[in-house]
């Protein structure tokens, strides 16, 4: 059976620490959310669901209609968990696997594709890349976990609830590329990351160096 890969890009937050909307930050010559959607599509994802909230109208305008579905999370002020739930509830019924990525975690297409490929080859329930002993992104879940993902709560630590329930079934993909850990939380982190990765328009086409599992 052909796998149908869906992806959720959470981009609803208020970007308080950054001081301006993260989805609109320049990255590879386009707004960050556009870069994320394009990378996911180039990686072979069949369906991209972007979950927006704060600054919905201005962000919505820069996301291509042809490659993504945009949903509005009216509860975005209650945290990222609400965006994950909204995104999962908006996925196609034929989805077999789910890629989860936040808008402030820019990833080249080949990096995303490497995780998807590993997930499928191992017929994994959950795939989590790990760089130097620490978890990275994107995360991939089997669609069989949809009900559990829609039941997460902020009080129960969100996605961690699902990981804890299936700790022995997590496919840990060992990698040696620090990009798996990149998270644009503050202006200073963004400035350094942009000079290293974001200004290079060819990065999305470069191979990433992934270690074996």
pLDDT at residue number 138? 98
pLDDT at residue number 213? 19
Are 12 and 76 contacting, i.e. CB atoms less than 8 angstroms apart? yes
pLDDT at residue number 199? 87
pLDDT at residue number 157? 83
pLDDT at residue number 201? 55
Cα–Cα distances (Å) from 145 to 74, 95, 142, 163, 182, in that order, read 24, 11, 6, 11, 26
pLDDT at residue number 212? 26
Scored b (16 or more CB within 10 A) or e, 106-142 reads: bbbbbbbbbbbebbeeeebbbbbbbbeeeebbbbbbb
- Domains in the chain, start-ordered, CATH in brackets? 5-191 (3.90.550.10)
pLDDT at residue number 64? 75
Q: Which residues of the chain have pLDDT under 50?
A: 202-213
Are 81 and 154 contacting, i.e. CB atoms less than 8 angstroms apart? yes
């Amino acid at each position: 059976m052909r796998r149908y890969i869906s992806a959720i890009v959470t981009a609803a937050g208020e970007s308080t620490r950054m001081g301006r909307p993260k989805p609109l930050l320049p990255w590879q010559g386009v707004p960050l959310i556009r870069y994320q959607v394009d990378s996911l599509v180039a990686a072979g994802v069949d369906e991209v669901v972007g979950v927006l909230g704060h600054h919905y109208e201005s962000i919505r305008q820069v996301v291509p209609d042809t490659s993504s579905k945009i949903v509005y999370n009216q509860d975005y002020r209650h945290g990222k968990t609400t965006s994950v739930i909204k995104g999962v509830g908006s996925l196609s019924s034929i989805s077999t696997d789910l890629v989860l990525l936040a808008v402030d975690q820019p990833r080249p297409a080949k990096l995303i594709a490497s995780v998807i490929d590993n997930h499928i080859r191992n017929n994994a329930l959950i795939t989590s890349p790990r760089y130097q002993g620490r978890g990275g992104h994107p995360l991939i879940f089997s669609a069989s976990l949809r009900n559990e993902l829609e039941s997460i709560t902020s009080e129960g630590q969100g996605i961690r609830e699902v990981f804890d329930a299936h700790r022995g079934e997590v496919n840990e993909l060992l990698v040696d590329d620090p990009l798996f850990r990149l998270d644009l939380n503050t202006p200073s982190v963004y400035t350094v990351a942009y000079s290293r990765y974001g200004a290079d328009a060819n990065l999305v086409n470069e191979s990433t160096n992934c270690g074996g599992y």
